[in-house]
Chains A and B, each alone.
Chain A
Amino acid sequence: MRKHITMTIAMGLLGVAAVAGTAHADGYGTAGCGLGSILFHDKPGIVQIFAATTNGTSANQTFAITSGTSNCKSTAAGTASAKAFIQANREAVAKDIARGQGETITNLASLAGCSSDKAVGAQLQRDFKSIFPSEQVSDVTVSDSVVSMLQAHPELACHDLT
């Protein structure tokens, strides 16, 4: 019975998949742990739609339970994981820096071991134009700049950045 229902539904979804559209382009210019290269990598759009419709969103092997240490996987305090965080959260980080506060600032301040997320927010807001000189800077460059900014201000006391 279950098999029957399953197959029937499968056929139906095939029909929908056909209507739903074609694959999106696979042009990722960024490296590092950016959202584009990590989450949307290696999956044509149609497969992604089917996958998620049926609860099978797939993440890549970086995140296997047994894969051990990987920059894009670690959320322990430190420079590498702070950079990975900035790359993956780039769009939200940009907004929060411009706003001088926000969830990504709080979490970043914590990853970097800074003493006050409020001070970090205020400082990065002042540095917005240096971090984001144009929209074309890559995720990796943004992450390098943010970390340099934090390091350049000893009063922020971001002790976990090396």
Chain B
Amino acid sequence: MFGARACVALATLLLIAAVGCGAQLHMPSVPDVPRSNDARVEALVKRARTLELAHSVTWLRLLHYRRGTLGGGFLGGGYTSQADGPTFFLSPHGKGDPQAELDATLRAFFAPVPGRSATVTETPADAHALCRFPARFMYLRQALGIDPRMLPVSGCPGFEHFYTELDPSSLTLMFSSYYLNNPSSAFGHTFLRVNKANTFAIGKKRELLDYGIDYSADVHGENAIVYAFKGVSGLFDGTFKQLPYYYKVRQYNDTETRDIWEYDLALAPAQLSLVIAHLWELGHTYFAYYYLSENCSYQILALVEVATPELELISRLSSPVLPTDTIKVLTSAPGLVHDVRYRPSLRTQFRERVKSMNDDERDYVEKLASDPETPFPAKLADPARMRVLDAAADLIDINYGEDLVMKTDTEAARRKQRVLERRAAILQPSDSLHVTPPWNKAPETGHGSARAGLGAAAAYGMVAATLDLRVNMHDLADPSDGYPELNAIELIRARMQLWPDGKIQADDIGFFRVTSLTAQNQFDRKLSWKIDTGGYTLNDRACKRCFAAHVGGGVGMAFAPWGEGFAFFAMADVGAFYAPSLHGLGDSGTRLGLGPSGGLRMRFAPTLISLWTAQYLFLPWQQPGAAYRADAVLRWEYVRNLALSLEARAQATAYQGQVLALVYF
């Protein structure tokens, strides 16, 4: 508490201590980086040059300069700022020139306050460089020992309001985990939480009232194609947003039922103030939003990095940037994360509620969720009734979450209303729920999201060299820590083979591949599904050892009656193949098939997993009439991020065995 107050005081002091140095500076009204008439200001500029502050880590980070990206630094060592809003720079050359920007910033700090402001919402002082760029000021003041009495501004109402509203005492980096059943959360999401100083008002944490800081693209109803194109090519503006944390909890924990992992950052009060002040600076500008590289996770990390000049964070990321990558960078930076916490999703809370119930109670939960008038037998005591009604309300929320938020006149809303009425009629408080964090599923415990491997394959009476590459992220045989147990998502994977007969063969290419298994249980009847785009080598009578492009998918059910370590599934598949040499439909190169598939996954240990899958496709009116493929994998991660994989495949005219050494990075 004391530290928190001290840090509010610090920030206010920095800006408010400047009382009494009115307009003693007389600036010539030249628009282009004017020199100051005040010798003291020019002395500061000179001193900053001598100290080479323009190329200090903190200055470069505050201005978001990167070396050698397209633009000023295109052909060599120069710098370009990633910020794109023109008002982020005080020098016309600021985007590409750290020195010019620093000179201009110092001069602007001492420029007189304009008589009136450009907009109605801010005061003249708010538009002054000191109020616009409080983090730059904090840094330069400290580095140059600027005398606050020299400054022309005595307070910044806008910034102070912002700071008071946030009331920051610490920062937490939040990871909203992936949940493949909802395609919108496939890779997870990161944002920042600014923890309020005064969150223990009545002896209990009230973190819902903290603020979430999000970096996101500003989208205005574009259609999906335009949207996707703009998203990857940086045509959207990305901006920082500040919203009450409860919106985040409701959206992620409840509506999307995603668990949230929290990483408390160990920042000193001065570091915290610098981040918050810099957030204010960023709030006035925008960046080109690149979905796969300079995305939410990247920019949130860039914001944190401002306060930790001794740590390399952003430079350790490689494209594409996944939210989990930033978590790994963060947790591996020495001393940066001092605590990790877990906020269970509504689904996880529900599982905890029913875990300790007996079969009768579980049956009542299920019945109440569909018929809220289901009577209780007289022998069911109040505590049990409360437990059952509480779980039933959660179950309705899980099944109809977004529906309930959007509309009030639905059957789901009516059921929930009745369940809650019955619950409220028992005038006793429920026990609060405690969920033990599943530490082995924390994202930083997961294997690296990219994969490469070397190995050998035996087939056709020969032995080939195999090369395996995957951009990201996880398949069902990969080590399971840090990843959802029964979900796989792969973006761009390729397995190439070089055979002694000189043939280079694409054994298996995955462009986008998702398998989402949901084990059936009393409360969750969700179907399992998979999608695959890519291609693989066919071996049947019509097409021996020929590579065919493939788009396919399947829907079915998964079962894990003894826990998620042992799961099996069956699906109905459709698949389309293309290769010039196929005798497919109308003897064309296109083959269409449909048929059953199934699989078995055995997790002996998080580091030792065996996966068996098979697919049989009927090929009506085509040659050869049917095709099958069966695969078996046994994969063992013997050291973290290093695995051995034994794989076998059977097709109509060929069997193949492979052994690979895989490295995750």
Contacts and interface: CB of A to CB of B under 8 A. Distances in A.
Interface residues of B, number: 106
Contact of B165 (A9, A74, A103, A106): A74
Interface residues of A, number: 96
A135 B408 contact: yes
Interface string A101-115: 111101101110011
Interface in B260-305: 279-280, 282-284, 289-293, 295-297
Contact of B414 (A2, A36, A101, A135): A135
A40 B242 contact: no
Interface string A95-131: 1011111111011011100111110011001101100
Contacts of B84: none
A95 B417 CA distance: 9
Given A36-B405, A104-B208, A110-B209, A16 B183 contact: yes
Given A55-B297, A91-B404, A100 B428 contact: yes
A162 interface: no
Contacts of A10: 228-229, 231-233, 291-292
B201 to A, nearest CB: 5
A155 to B, nearest CB: 15
A154 interface: no
Interface stretch (B54-62, B214-222, B599-607): B214-222
Nearest to A47: B227
A19 B279 CA distance: 38
A106 B206 contact: yes
B246 A107 contact: yes
**Which of B211, B416, B430 has the most A CB atoms < 10 Å from its CB?**
B430
Contact of B250 (A35, A54, A64, A114): A35
A50 B231 contact: yes
B92 to A, nearest CB: 23
B293 A136 contact: no
Most chain A Cβ neighbours within 10 Å, of B190, B291, B393, B394 = B291
A52 interface: yes
Interface string B349-376: 0000000000000000000000000000
A28 B406 contact: yes
Given A36-B406, A46-B224, A58-B219, A6 B242 contact: no
A74 B162 CA distance: 10
Interface in A1-38: 2, 5-10, 12-20, 24-25, 27-30, 34-36, 38
Contacts, number: 292
B511 interface: yes
Contacts of A44: 221, 224
A116 B423 contact: no
B318 to A, nearest CB: 9
B397 interface: yes
B462 interface: no
B492 A12 contact: yes
Contacts of A40: 402, 405-406
A39 interface: yes
A17 B251 contact: no
B390 interface: yes
A77 B430 CA distance: 26
B438 interface: no
Contacts of A98: 389, 393, 420-421, 423-424
A146 interface: no
Contacts of A53: 183-187
B405 A107 contact: no
Contacts of A134: 417
Contact of A39 (B204, B227, B251): B251
A8 B49 CA distance: 44
Contacts of A151: none
A64 B202 contact: no
A90 B189 CA distance: 24
A122 B408 contact: no
B361 to A, nearest CB: 17
B319 A100 contact: no
A152 interface: no
Contacts of B512: 12-13, 15-16
A56 B553 CA distance: 26
A73 B409 CA distance: 28
A76 B228 contact: no
A136 B407 CA distance: 8
A85 B247 contact: no
Nearest to A118: B429
B293 A95 contact: no
Contacts of A24: 402
Given A65-B162, A132-B417, A56 B397 contact: no
Contacts of A121: 429
A59 B214 contact: yes
Contacts of B228: 10, 13-14, 17, 50
Given A40-B402, A115-B202, A116-B202, A16 B394 contact: no
Interface of B: 121, 158, 161-162, 165, 183-190, 196, 201-202, 204, 206, 208-211, 214, 216-225, 227-229, 231-233, 236, 238-244, 246-247, 250-251, 254-255, 279-280, 282-284, 289-293, 295-297, 319-320, 323, 386, 389-390, 393-394, 397, 401-402, 404-409, 413-414, 416-417, 420-421, 423-424, 427-430, 432, 471, 491-492, 511-512, 514, 531, 533, 551, 553
9 contacts: A25-B406, A39-B247, A54-B231, A55-B189, A55-B190, A69-B161, A91-B404, A125-B429, A132-B420
Given A40-B406, A47-B224, A65-B280, 5 more contacts: A10-B292, A16-B183, A98-B424, A99-B386, A136-B408
